[in-house]
Amino acid sequence: MNRVEIKTIVTNNYAKQYRVNLITGGSKIVRLWKTNDGRIAIMDKGRKKWGHELRSWDDFENWATLRLVEHNEIDYYKRFVKRATDALKMLNESGLWSDIKETIEHFFELPETEQRELVNDIITDSYEKFYKQTWGDGKYAWVHCHQVFCTFTNKTCWKSIAWRKWERESMSAEVADCIKNGKDFSRRWTNGYDNTLEITFNDDYPRGWYSCEYRDCGNGHYYLLFDATHAIFYEDD
């Protein structure tokens, strides 16, 4: 195939999955989209937000056919509202992250048209572009937790605490007690990852964090704790 042929097939302005049948045999899935200036971009392998312009080294000359992978249409607005509702319930009960709770409450005070516009901006714009709209006097300057809002639209959102099996019940109860009684909590343990859970009540601003880092590495997956048993994805490092 050549770029002209690919452009007639790829008309979406955000990444979608396409199945490529290869001249040499076999097939693969790629994520493609058309940029604002009409170029075709391909998502980098293993990435969710970043890609590059389709180049010869992507071996598209070896593509025999290209077709859009059909999925059941996802109602991102419905997904966002359900998760935001669950998050608000957790934060109301736990008292953690009051600033995030207020931001979610503000979202629900907006007219539905503006709510839908925000969700659409998240899923159609790049992560970086949405983030910039939360700066200064940007369109979404009131959003103080853009990572959380982006996670509300992701395929997965919530993370359970990976306690070791024999201590899961007792540790969950201890964390719940600390949250209820305003006591700081900190624990590190290994269960596949190097896990850390921390809760602080400094300055009447309760916060909680959970992380799963690669063994002896200091890099991994980072979450915000919303209650004793639920954390929400924040970032990878």
Pairing status of strand 40-43 against strand 230-236: unpaired
Look up residue 216 and give its two tokens. 């002896």
The domain boundary, picked from 68, 85, 110, lies at: 68
Shared domain for 217 and 163, answered yes or no, is yes
Give start and end residues of each alpha helix (H) in the chain.
3-9, 76-94, 98-109, 112-124, 127-132, 146-151, 168-181
36 in the same domain as 120? no
How many domains is the chain partitioned into structurally? 2
pLDDT at residue 192, rounded to an integer: 87
Q: Is the domain of 42 the same as that of 142?
A: no
Backbone torsion region of residue 216, taken as left when φ is above 0, otherwise alpha when ψ lies between -120 and 50, otherwise beta = left
- Whole-prediction pTM: 0.70
User: Is residue 3 in some structural domain?
Assistant: no
Residues 52 and 166 in one domain: no
Residue 128 has pLDDT above 90, yes or no: no
Determine the Cα–Cα distance for residues 149 and 127; give it in Å rounded to an integer: 11
pLDDT beyond 90 at 158: yes
Q: Tell me: do 59 and 132 sit in the same domain.
A: no
pLDDT reported for residue 5: 92
Residues 42 and 92 in one domain: no
Among residues 43, 68, 93, which one ends one of the domains?
68
Residue range of the domain that includes 81: 76-236
On whether residue 112 sits in a domain, the answer given is yes
pLDDT-derived band at 173, boundaries 50, 70, 90? very high
Within a domain: 2: no
